Amino acid sequence: MREIEAKSLEDLKDVAAAVIEALDGRNVVALCGAMGAGKTTLVSAIMEYLGSSDTVTSPTFALVNQYDTASFGAVYHFDFYRINRIEEVFDMGYEEYFYSGNLCLVEWPELIEALLPDDAMVVRIDILSPTERKFTIL
């Protein structure tokens, strides 16, 4: 477990690096935090760290976005906030993404917890103030 406090958006570079360094062969990262905690902002920092020039947006309605990187290949960004039934996740073929070996960054993983791989990394984001967050990497 590693905890990092971020006092500004600039500090997210360190958080992104810590997440990538802690993967240790894992490819699914569950991003847990309240609405507005900064899950999509963290995904953006991770993509910047990986050298992607793609624009990061929340895939709230599409469920998944794909970003390209030179070092990690395709990276998949999921947002399960608006799913109504777990069958929607089966219908989108989540297994092909989660078990592809490609990095998968998952927002609102608690809504599909039973489908996450056993070795999924968890990053918990706690709001400390309007501008400060605590990131716990498990």
Q: What is the pLDDT of residues 112-134, one digit of tens each?
A: 999 999 999 999 999 999 999 99
Which range of residues forms the domain containing residue 102? 2-137
Task: Please name which of 136, 117, 138 lies closest in space to residue 3, comparing C-alpha atoms.
Answer: 136
pLDDT on residue 59: 87
Q: How many domains does the chain fold into?
A: 1
Instruction: Return the CATH number at 116.
Output: 3.40.50.300
Task: Please name which of 113, 86, 85, 118 lies closest in space to residue 99, comparing C-alpha atoms.
Answer: 118
pLDDT above 90: residue 60: no
Are 119 and 126 a contacting pair, CB within 8 Å? no
For the whole prediction, is pTM greater than 0.85? Answer: yes
At 7-36, the pLDDT tens digits run 999 999 999 999 999 999 999 999 999 999
pLDDT category at 79 given cuts 50, 70, 90 is very high
* Amino acid (one-letter) located at 75: V
Strands 121-127 and 133-137: antiparallel
